[in-house]
Structure 1
Amino acid sequence: MRWDDLRTSENVEDRRGEGGGFGGGTGFGIGGGRLGIGTVIVLGLLGWALGIDPRLLIGGAEVVADRFPTQQSSGRTGAPPADDRVGTFVAKILGETEDVWSQVLPQQANVDYQKPRLVMFSGATQSACGGAQSQMGPFYCPIDRKVYLDTAFFQEMQQRFGGGGDFAYAYVIAHEIGHHVENLLGILPKVQQAQRRAGGGPEANQLSVRVELMADCLAGVWAAKMNERRSNITETDVRQAVAAATAIGDDRLQRQSQGRVTPDSFTHGSSEQRVRWLMTGLRGGNVNSCNTFQASRV
């Protein structure tokens, strides 16, 4: 993937090296409980599905925000220095998501695009949705409308899952921006309400799967429109993204972590679903093709 000529976004907040966090050993409160380190690691693997567990992302956002109030960061905001290649990559991909969605969202959905911020951090930091840890993987917080990314995650993609490549990394960012697009479309609040009515269990999980698969599809729409503008994606790039989507399906991750697959507990979708929806967006380049909430489409 060629990205050096992309525009650099100024909406990057660099907290790397701050050593932030929310206190040692507190864990995350889900369902009134407190998670041990083993569970955090498992959720970290699920965070590999390119988004925070939806119980934090959507259903529990207000509760978590109450427990971990937002703190102002002293991190630098704006374009990274020229010698920071990882930071420059992130800022340029973010800039291209801004340019694409500022055109596509009004044209295809009659909704103005509001640019989110992206926070780069190391290890742990604070968000309006609570404490962010690298084990959770990249995630989008709908309360402060920011994407949180520990850039060491890209190394994890290579070392733990055998994935990697610039387009695969861009897919990570584009997926989280896809959640922001869902928020602007009013989908996340509706899903939150539906999950509350469902009261948890397989139905709530299925709603989470639909949210995640739609973000995969929207990442594909972004890539399609970028490629129309710049012709900067090759077949090799697409194979890298497909490999990444395959590696982070719930079925693949469950088989690796617990030796069996439990579809009712899926929160992000199977490998086949993730690849299919990514390619749906990539081939069509149309937001309307990403409606995963039609019962027959998941």
Structure 2
Amino acid sequence: MRLGQAGQSDDVSYVGGGGGRGAGVPLAIGGGGLGIVGVVIALLVSLTGGGGGSGYGGVGDILGRMSGVPVAQGAQVPSAAQDEVVFLKAVVGDVQDYWTRQFSASGRTYEPSKLLLFDTQWASGCGLADEATGPFYCPADKRVYLGVSFFDQLRTKYGAPGDFAQAYVVAHEYGHHVQDLLGITGQADQYSQQHAAQANAVSVLVELQADCFAGVWGHDAQQRAELDPGDLQEALTAAAAVGDDTLQRQAQGYVNPDTFTHGTAEERQSWFLQGFRAGDPAQCDTFGKGADGAASSA
């Protein structure tokens, strides 16, 4: 991938050196309102000016909202992470530029989110994070967190090498930020609290929508000739590698669909492709196309 015209975003910081432990107290979310399917469709229509349809962050997302202590940032970037920081600044700048344009076109204001790259235990607004946590978006402080070693793990442990595989992960997490800004995250949390038996199903829909949003950005990058041959396959390989079925099969030798929270490898690839081919966030309504079991049974 090229990103030759991408600026170096100021929204990426290295935060090495340690941090305090988060308090880990869930925040309450109010009840009432429309059903989640109607709300999400309305929010997408509001953003895109259209409708129709063909979701919470990467391998180790922290789900739910918790309080924590603020993190310090701006530590000296070690030489081993400098290239990664440069790459992340380019990707974050490009992804957020896309969503800024998209929000502006619909009369909204996009609020940027910072990405914090860390190499030790760190207190996010969603609790303590470490290298084993995996990348995640925290709605409580509206930040993306990424461990320094994750991209190496993506390549070696998950078998998904390539810069566009890495960019897919980042774009997916920023897809969660978009969901948060649109109110989708809060509605999903509220619905899950009211219908605990459907919480995993709703989580899958949120994750798949974030995959689709990542694909929409990928489409825009392709239209600007920023992608190289093979980039799309890199993203699809990464999407499959972090499917619930793939991870469970690797970890325990069998698959338990009742415990899925992110979607299967096939589903994650399919929704990324949906966004990549359509180039339209309105085509990322996973709730409208996939929520019948979760919403209509309530």
TM-score, scaled to structure 1 = 0.81
Is the contact between residue 15 and residue 118 of structure 2 (CA under 8 Å) also seen in structure 1?
yes
2:18 aligns with 19
1:50 aligns with 58
Is the contact between residue 121 and residue 151 of structure 1 (CA under 8 Å) also seen in structure 2?
yes
Listed as ranges, the matches of 1:202-213 within 5 Å are 203-213=198-208
Listed as ranges, the matches of 1:276-291 within 5 Å are 276-291=270-285
Q: Which runs of 5+ in 1 are unaligned?
A: 31-48
Is the contact between residue 164 and residue 234 of structure 2 (CA under 8 Å) also seen in structure 1?
yes
Matched, 1:237 2:231: yes
Distance 1:80-1:177 versus aligned 2 partners, 3 A rule: farther
Listed as ranges, the matches of 1:21-100 within 5 Å are 22=21, 50=58, 52-53=60-61, 56-58=62-64, 61-62=65-66, 65=67, 69-76=68-75, 84-100=82-98
Listed as ranges, the matches of 1:122-271 within 5 Å are 122-199=119-196, 201=197, 203-229=198-224, 231-271=225-265
C-alpha distance in 1 between matches for 2:269 and 2:220 = 18
* Amino acid corresponding to residue 2 of structure 2 in structure 1: R
CA RMSD of aligned residues (A): 2.6
Aligned length: 262
Listed as ranges, the matches of 1:96-115 within 5 Å are 96-107=94-105, 110-115=107-112
1:19 Cα offset (Å): 3.2
C-alpha distance in 2 between matches for 1:124 and 1:283 = 38
1:106 Cα offset (Å): 3.2
C-alpha distance in 1 between matches for 2:121 and 2:75 = 16
Matched, 1:274 2:280: no
Q: Deviation string for 1:225-260 (max 9, x for gaps)?
A: 12223x011340101111111111101111111111
Distance 1:256-1:85 versus aligned 2 partners, 3 A rule: same
Give the SS at the match of 1:6. Answer: coil
Distance 1:260-1:29 versus aligned 2 partners, 3 A rule: farther
1:111 Cα offset (Å): 3.0
Is the contact between residue 158 and residue 164 of structure 1 (CA under 8 Å) also seen in structure 2?
yes
TM-score, scaled to structure 2 = 0.81
Query: Looking at both structures, which has the greater relative contact order when contacts are Cα pairs under 8 Å and sequence separation is at least 6?
Result: 2
